[in-house]
Structure 1
């Protein structure tokens, strides 16, 4: 089994990382709350490469996000609350 820890740093890294997670969530059928909303068993294959499965069938991205300025992190948190990004 392979597990990947995704590390995002700085404004650019976090903005690129946000788009990355948007694509990965679409590929695996994960909605913004971390629940599986797909329609194919293939979407769940190897899902544990990028996600940890939490209680209640919720998938949490395996990621570390960091930035010295709060603006980018605040923007990502707001996008997650609006359902545009997964909730980290």
Structure 2
């Protein structure tokens, strides 16, 4: 895979995950209206946007690690605290 293809793949992956996080936010807000829910999923959405920008600027490995660790942490916080 060329670097250009890797960047494009990570941008698409982060965009899809951003859409998934937005849907999960709406579903969670329908069941419980909590500031922690908005904060948790809001930070996950911001993280996806940061990863998209990192990938566009050629920092694909850093973006991949940040995306994986950040989204696993956001989902763990949702599962453990909320």
The two structures have a TM-score, normalised by structure 1, of 0.32
Structure that is richer in helix per residue: 2
Structure that is richer in strand per residue: 1
The two structures have a TM-score, normalised by structure 2, of 0.33
